[in-house]
Structure formats: C-alpha cells, structure tokens
Amino acid sequence: MKRISNAELEVMQVIWSKQNITSLEIIKGLQHKSWNDNTIRTLINRLIYKKAVGIAKKEGKTYIYVSLINKDEYILKSSNDFVNQFFNGSISDCINFLIKHNTEKLKKELAVDISND
C-alpha cells in the first residue's frame, strides 16, 4: 500500500463515510477546508493512482467513487508503522508514553480519575 498524504487522508475520511460517493459529495464534505474544487479532484486522482480509491461506475459525466482500502486495516497499518518507528515495535511503550503525556485529556474523555500509581 502506497503512503497516503495528510491531505489525501482527509479525502479518504469523506469517502469512508459513504459507500459510493461523487466528487461533488466529496467536495461538499471538505467545504470546511480552504481547498478549491480542482485541488480536491487532484487528490482524488492521486488516490486512484495509488489504488486507494476506485471508480465504481459512471453515470453520465459523473463518476461514482469507492474506497479500495478498508479504514480499519489502514489505521492498523499506520498505527503499527508509528509504533515501529518511534517505539521499536513496543505497543506497551507507546501506550505508556501516551498516558504519561495525555493524562489530563484522558481524565476529561473518560470522566474517571486516573491515578499515577
């Protein structure tokens, strides 16, 4: 699997949110970004080239896009790459690091008291 850039990942998030999706729907899903339509279409084409996105069908001039990679599998692969790169493959070292540096955020998100025992 070729590496997906952060911008391409934003497009993938929109595509993953729906089974079949048009470029206009992707553009609408990314309207919070300051990207123009051509930028988004370029990102879609890059994802097609990387075989992350495919064309399910064509309806007139409109293409219907579909993800060719599973979101959970992508997250797992990316997570494993991250753990290998920064923690020599140790998931427990990664988790300990995240807990150590995010205790306050965890307390808020979990709404429980996390002690430093």
Domains of the chain, by residue range, sit at: 6-67, 71-110
Q: What CATH number is given for 6-67 in this structure? A: 1.10.10.10
Provide mean pLDDT across the span 77-103.
94
> How are strands ordered across the β-sheet holding 62-67?
21-22, 62-67, 53-59
Closest CA relative to residue 41, chosen from 62, 17, 69: 62
Q: What is the pLDDT of residues 3-56, one digit of tens each?
A: 899 999 999 999 999 989 999 999 999 999 999 999 999 999 999 999 999 999
